[in-house]
Amino acid sequence: MKNWWHCMVGSLQKQTKFVHECIKTILKLYKGQEFAPKSVAIIGHSMGGLVARALLTLTNFKHDLINLLITQATPHVAPVMPLDRFITDFYMTVNNYWILNARQINLTTLSVAGGFRDYQVRSGLTFLPKLSHHTSALSVVSSAVPKTWVSTDHLSIVWCKQLQLTTVRAFFDLIDADTKQITQNSKKKLAVLTHHFIRHPSKHFEENPAIISDLTGTSMWVPVKVSKWTYVAYNESEKIYFTFPLENHRKIYTHVYCQSTMLDTNSWIFGCINSTSMCRQGVDLSWKAELLPTIKSLTLRLQDYPSLSQLVVYVPSVHGSKFVVDCEFFKREARSIQLPVTHLFSFGLSSRKVVINTSGLYYNIELLNFGQIYQAFKINVVSKCSAVKEEITSIYKLHIPWSYEDSLTIAQVPSSTEISVKLHSAQPENDNHVALLKMYTSSDCKYEVTVKTSFSQILGQVVRFHGGALPAYVVSSILLAYGGQLYSLFSTGCCLEYATMLDKEAKPYKVDPFVIIIKFLLGYKWFKELWDVLLLPELDAIVLTSQSMCFPLVSLILFLFGTCTAYWSGLLSSVSVRLLSSLWLALKRPSELPKDIKMISPDLPFLTIVLIIVSWTTCGALAILLSYLYYVFKIVHLQASLTTFKNSQPVNPKHSRRSEKKSNHHKDSSVHHLHLSANDAEDSLRMHSTVINLLTWIVLLSMPSLIYWLKNLRYYFKLNPDPCKPLAFILIPTMAILGNTYTVSIKSSKLLKTASQFPLPLAVGVIAFGSTHLYRVPCFVFIPLLLHALCNFM
């Protein structure tokens, strides 16, 4: 199942029904065969995974038609960019169904995320909801998948060979020997997926593995009494069992750690359950081992195995192969080192360091106070080795206990290795586990671990988790500047420059405090009830809090980025208008400033009706784009006329001022026939530049609908449902009127003061309700534009 990026709910619903029909058709193809399947397994990439989950919401869908669901880089929690309400409603329908019917849904589901290389879908969105009564769901990041251990981008997760092989191995192990189909046993399916995608013991999967193994045959038994032991095997002619008596070690040590560089799938470590010098039977501890890129390792807490008298390490007879087996006993306190991470606002200027001087093989570095998604660090591991004759490999594994998002770093020692440390999901409130840096080291080396805050990666986390909200902050800043321009026109009679008003009006303290106060008041029952009575939507800040995505000062950071973007987008639109006007003058004869200002030109009603018909019969986003182009054309024409007028004026400044006064006197003495002066034209262009900036963002937010319509134009001419159609019906006449609006015609309007006061509360509304629901942003923009247009008539 493929990736649909410009998904509309109509498409998603059609695709869901289509997949249902595909499943029924596929199963019919096998009807009458000896081992005919009764269900299918689905692998869904990106939105395909959501469509597969949506199958269960169909009224006529039988749940037992799907046996297994594996999704790859699928945003299960929420859409990446909620650009229309239909896709948000689709998500709500699917997720609510799965939550409310979790006890009835017996579908084993695995979600695989791409990790930090996936810039399209962040991994936090791919995690399936953790419900206490729904244990047949797993979520894992590809960097934590055994035998994969890499992050993938959004597309390569499909063809990543390591991940493909892991998936294929899992499917082979899921086959039931009797039915020749994927097993119906939910526990087995979950066990297989856990074996291949979560923790691999370097053994082939067995549904019921033999715990007790016979240790018989012609083998050499070698007792080992030291606490630290290494054996290099090369061209071994016979099998060897190395035995470690545990009685004395239990009195001194708490744990035992063993590792082997022989990465075969045979059992290699056992626990002896009798007290004789040679074990006849042993507990196969190999199932508790963990496969890593260069070793397989096992760590046991001795008190958990009181019945074991000896630990047995098996070295097979090999020819032409060389491998190393190490074992050591240790105290937990000696190998667990606490390292508090640096503060968020240290900006990398300070660091904390631990030095490992002991010659151990395994260490746990506890990263204290690390559990929030806005934290990001650089850990530098410096290894210094003595008398290194051959290549030695160390493995540094970042282990996140509350989520399967581990990552591994392999380093050749001696070396200096930098590790990026950040999270895909925040630590749950009721979780007391500590993030660990597991170090699989060399006994010949000393290690120095330094951690410091990475400010650049913190900004990266802000962009990763909140970058989608940036358009809302840009529009909020533009609205504040727009309101300032309207008020300056009302109070002084002239419109100030956009950049000046942006610098003066776009302040975070005008927006953020109101959002914070509303969020605080919603904690009170009476205010929440009043909120619900008014049918107001849920505050976006509360949605972010529920997803553990509230950063300190994140709104301030986004506001600064938004204001900066608003400034450059305004500059770009102003420069574009000037360049287009220059091109217009180069291609056509010079234009003149309009002698009489007409708010409704003869062709305006016809053009408006045509564009509304286009919106109704095709796509609302197309009509919005055409209206936008018409508006830009009008402003380019005005800019060209003003340039022509200035070039034609005499150089004598006194004559220029006299003619300007005469023009203004004539303008004031005429009520019904307003004339446009050069100053009025410049004022109008300043205002129009801001309006173009606002409209540009509306057009950009509606582009996905237009792109989707164009891609499917060969199938249907009318987009249905169309999220932009209601907006188009309002914006088309508004833009048509604004294209013929000049500041001289509205500065005396009774509605102007009211119009200048609206952008501030609307800028607050954009942040409060549009930061995680971008489709709401245009609803807040068209209101001041509509009031601006109505100023021509009131």
In angstroms, the Cα distances linking 581 to 520, 590, 596, 686 are 50, 10, 21, 15
Candidates 42, 99, 100, 102; CA nearest to 72 is 42
Q: How far apart are CA 400 and CA 367, in angstroms?
A: 10
Beta-carbon-side half-sphere exposure of residue 577 (alpha carbons within 13 Å): 31
Domain limits, the chain? 4-198, 219-333, 335-462, 468-646+675-792
* Spatial separation of the C-alpha atoms in residues 282 and 327, rounded to whole Å: 18
Helix (H, G, I), strand (E, B) or coil at 293: coil
Alpha-carbon gap, residue 557 to 481, rounded angstroms: 19
Residue with tokens 């309009």: 594
From start to end of 362-406, where are the E strands? 362-368, 376-385, 392-399
Q: With the C-alpha atoms ordered 153, 771, 426, 105, is the resulting torsion angle positive or negative?
A: negative
Three-class SS of residue 509? Answer: helix
Q: What is the CATH number of domain 219-333?
A: 2.60.120
pLDDT attached to residue 612: 92
Band (325; pLDDT cuts 50, 70, 90): very high
Contact 208, 182 (CB under 8 A): no
Distance CA(191)–CA(463), nearest Å, equals 37
What sign does the CA torsion over 349, 355, 360, 363 have?
Answer: negative
Of the candidates 83, 67, 263, which has an alpha carbon nearest to the alpha carbon of residue 184?
Answer: 67
pLDDT more than 90, % of the chain: 47
The mean of the pLDDT values for the chain is 87
- The values of phi and psi at residue 109, to 5°, are -130, 135
Q: Do domains 219-333 and 335-462 have the same CATH topology?
A: yes
* Tens digit of each residue's pLDDT (9 = 90 or more) over 709-732: 898 888 888 888 888 899 999 999
**Bridge partners (DSSP) listed for residue 301:** 255
Contacting residues for 380 by C-beta, under 8 A, at least 6 apart: 416, 417, 418, 419, 449, 450, 451
Sorting pLDDT into bands at 50, 70 and 90, what band is 219? confident
pTM: 0.87
Cα angle, residue 551 at apex, residues 549 and 556 outer, rounded to 5°: 125
For residue range 339-352, what is the model confidence (pLDDT) as tens digits?
999 988 888 888 99
Which are the catalytic amino acids?
Answer: 46
What percentage of residues in the chain have a pLDDT greater than 70?
91
Sign of CA dihedral 644, 650, 651, 657: negative
Which tens digit of pLDDT belongs to each residue from 644-696?
A: 777 776 655 444 444 444 444 444 433 445 556 777 778 888 888 999 999 99
Higher confidence at residue 568 or residue 719?
A: 568
Q: 335-462: which CATH architecture?
A: Sandwich (2.60)
pLDDT, tens digit, for every residue of 120-176? 999 999 998 776 555 688 999 999 999 999 999 999 999 999 999 999 999 999 999
pLDDT at res. 606: 86
Which listed CATH number (1.25.40, 2.30.30, 3.40.50, 3.10.450) goes with 4-198? 3.40.50
Q: Extract the tokens encoding 658.
A: 């006299």
Between CA 7 and CA 15 the distance in angstroms is: 10
b/e string for 338-373 if b means 16 or more Cβ within 10 A? ebebbebeeeeeeeeeeebeeebbbbbbebeebbbb
